[in-house]
Structure formats: structure tokens, C-alpha cells
């Protein structure tokens, strides 16, 4: 373990070769963190990591072997992990509602929900060695029941029957783990409509979209746990 790694807090961000994940990695590195930027592809992930001052680590959240290998690497290099940001996700296919299948939903849940828990499970022993361990699950207002009903009442609708339920599941996963892991602060962050590939470039800047994530990631001891926030504060579940 190097002197540098002892001094600097350690963070890992999944799905970080672009968009919200990349900006999160950049801001954590800027804040003095030793950041592991993970992505499925070294071809895309390595230059992205170099551009923001992070270290690249190949990680495919749907693969037990890949996640375990990444956790073993961080264990050997650092011995602990202070911040885990679960960001990797997919929207799944968008089609006419009658054409959706169970396999469509399974694919989204495998990445967006099971992938989060797979990563948490693998890195939990390293988080438990931190003096101030934090998990930030990137969620969405599309997974909020309160916000959904408000939009329906207002005559608006957005989201799909694949992506929105996956984000709702992440919210419940966050609440459950915050209760069951009292030694680790587990929170959910809503980036809001952010201009990335997932939104076809619509929405506010990636810096605005990462404000809530960074707020939770940089929170000191005694910070919140079991909360769901956006850049303006607490978000309705």
C-alpha cells in the first residue's frame, strides 16, 4: 500500500467512462480522492480515466467474475474503500407498451438493480474498513411514486415500464441497506434530467446532474443515511 493511498480517501465509480459517471469521477478526483473509474471497455474507459485524473479499472456489473476481480484489485492496491458510487445503468428498449416482454425487464433489472447489489456485496468488506464509508446509489425521480402521481395529476407522463421500475427498486434497496448496514451511510441521488446519451442530450449540465451525488459522496462523519436527494435537497420517495 503506498503512502499516497494511505493519505487520500478512495472512491470507485461504476459506469464512468462518460456522462454522469465521468463527471462524478472528475469532481471526486478534484476534491482530492484517489478515484477508480470503472467501465466495461478499456478502450473507452482508459482514456476517460486519464482525462479526469482517475485510475481505470475494468468492471462489468452483470458479471460476478468481473466484479470480484475489481474488488480484489482494490483490496490489494488500497486495502479499503471510502466511497462507492453505483452509477452503471441502461434504459432498455423503448417500444409500444404491448410489445414489452419479461426478458426486456430482466435485462434492465440485471444491470440497474442486481448490478448495484453485486457491486455493493463485493466491495462491502473494503467499505467496512473505512472510517467514513459511504454508498451513493444513482437513482432517478422517475422511480418516485410521489412524483409519478404528481405528474399524472398534472397530465404529464415520462419514463418507461422498464427504467422507472428499476429506479424504484434502487430506492427501496437504498432504504433497506441503510437500515441493515448502520455502520455505512447509504443514500440515493437523483441527477434530474441531465444532458447525456441516455437523455439524448436533453436537460441540464452534467455538473448540475452530479451535484446531489457529490454532496452525498463528500459528506463527513455524521452525514445522512437512508435519504433520497436531488440538487435542491430531499426528494420525495
Q: How far is CA 68 from CA 58, 62, 71, 109, 138, in A?
A: 11, 11, 5, 20, 21
What φ, ψ does residue 5 adopt, rounded to 5°?
-70, -30
- Other C-beta atoms closer than 10 Å to the C-beta of 26 total 22
163 is catalytic: yes
Selected catalytic residue, list 33, 36, 116, 163 = 163
Specify the DSSP element, H or E, that contains 230. strand 228-230
33 is catalytic: no
Alpha-carbon gap, residue 29 to 170, rounded angstroms: 26
Strands 228-230 and 233-234: antiparallel
What φ, ψ does residue 16 adopt, rounded to 5°?
-115, 20
Selected catalytic residue, list 33, 36, 116, 167 = 167
Please identify every residue annotated as catalytic.
Answer: 163, 167
Amino acid at each position: 500500500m503506498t503512502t499516497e493511498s494511505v493519505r487520500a480517501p478512495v472512491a470507485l465509480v461504476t459506469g464512468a467512462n462518460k456522462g454522469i459517471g465521468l463527471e462524478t469521477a472528475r469532481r471526486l478526483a478534484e476534491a482530492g480522492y484517489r478515484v477508480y473509474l470503472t467501465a466495461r471497455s478499456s478502450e473507452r474507459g482508459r482514456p476517460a480515466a486519464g482525462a479526469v485524473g482517475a485510475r481505470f479499472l475494468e468492471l462489468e456489473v452483470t458479471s460476478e467474475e468481473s466484479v470480484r476481480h475489481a474488488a480484489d484489485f482494490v483490496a490489494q492496491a488500497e486495502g479499503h474503500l471510502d466511497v462507492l458510487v453505483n452509477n452503471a445503468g441502461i434504459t432498455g428498449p423503448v417500444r409500444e407498451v404491448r410489445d414489452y416482454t419479461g426478458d426486456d425487464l430482466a435485462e434492465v433489472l440485471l444491470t440497474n438493480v442486481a448490478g448495484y447489489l453485486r457491486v455493493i456485496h463485493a466491495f462491502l468488506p473494503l467499505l467496512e474498513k473505512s472510517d467514513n464509508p459511504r454508498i451513493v446509489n444513482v437513482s432517478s425521480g422517475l422511480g418516485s411514486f410521489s412524483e409519478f402521481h404528481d405528474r399524472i395529476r398534472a397530465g404529464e407522463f415520462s419514463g418507461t415500464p422498464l427504467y422507472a421500475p428499476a429506479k424504484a427498486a434502487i430506492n427501496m434497496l437504498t432504504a433497506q441497506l441503510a437500515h441493515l448496514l448502520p455502520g455505512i451511510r447509504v443514500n440515493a441521488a437523483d441527477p434530474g434530467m441531465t444532458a447525456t446519451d441516455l437523455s439524448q442530450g436533453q436537460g441540464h449540465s452534467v455538473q448540475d446532474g452530479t451535484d446531489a451525488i457529490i454532496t452525498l459522496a463528500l459528506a463527513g462523519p455524521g452525514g445522512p443515511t437512508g435519504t433520497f436527494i436531488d440538487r435542491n435537497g430531499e426528494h420525495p420517495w
